[in-house]
Amino acid sequence: MLSLKLGKAPRRTSSLPPPQPPRSAGATLAAACPFSAHPMRALARAASSLLRRAAGSAPTTGSPHHPSPGVGPCLAKNLPGFFFNGYSTLLAPPSEVLIPPELLSSRTVWTPDRELGQYEDLVARVTNFHNEDKGFMVLDGDVFDVPIRKDIVHRVVRWQLAKRQQGTHSTKTISEVSGTGRKPYKQKGTGRARHGTLRGPQFRGGATMHGPKPRSHAIKLQKKVRRLGLKIALSARTAEGKLLVFEDLEVPSHKTKNIVQYIRQMDDTKKVLLVDGGDIDKKLKLATQNLHYVNVLPSIGLNVYSILQHDTLVMSRAAINRIVERMHTPINR
- Structural domains for the chain: 141-163+219-328 (3.40.1370.10)
The alpha carbon of 206 is separated from its chain's Cα centroid by a whole number of angstroms, namely 53
Of the candidates 113, 107, 56, 44, the residue with the CA atom closest to the CA atom of residue 80 = 44
Examine the pLDDT at 77 and tell me if it is beyond 60: no
Q: Note the pLDDT of residue 69.
A: 42
| Other C-beta atoms lying within 10 Å of the C-beta of residue 231 | 21
How are beta strands 272-276 and 294-298 bridged, if at all?
parallel
pLDDT tens by residue, 232-245 = 999 999 999 999 99
Examine the pLDDT at 311 and tell me if it is beyond 90: yes
Q: Note the pLDDT of residue 44.
A: 64
Q: With residue 56 as reference, give the H or E element that holds it.
A: helix 39-57
DSSP reduced 3-state for 259:
helix
Integer Cα distance of 166 and 155 in angstroms: 20
**Of 7-21, 57-71, 269-283, 312-326, minimum mean pLDDT range:** 57-71
Q: Note the pLDDT of residue 2.
A: 42
Cα dihedral across residues 21, 27, 28, 34: positive or negative: negative
Exposure string over 134-164, b if 16+ CB within 10 A, otherwise e: eeebebbeebbbbeeeeebbebbbebbeeee
pTM of the model as a whole:
0.63
Integer Cα distance of 202 and 212 in angstroms: 18
Of 162 and 75, more confident: 162
Examine the pLDDT at 168 and tell me if it is beyond 50: yes
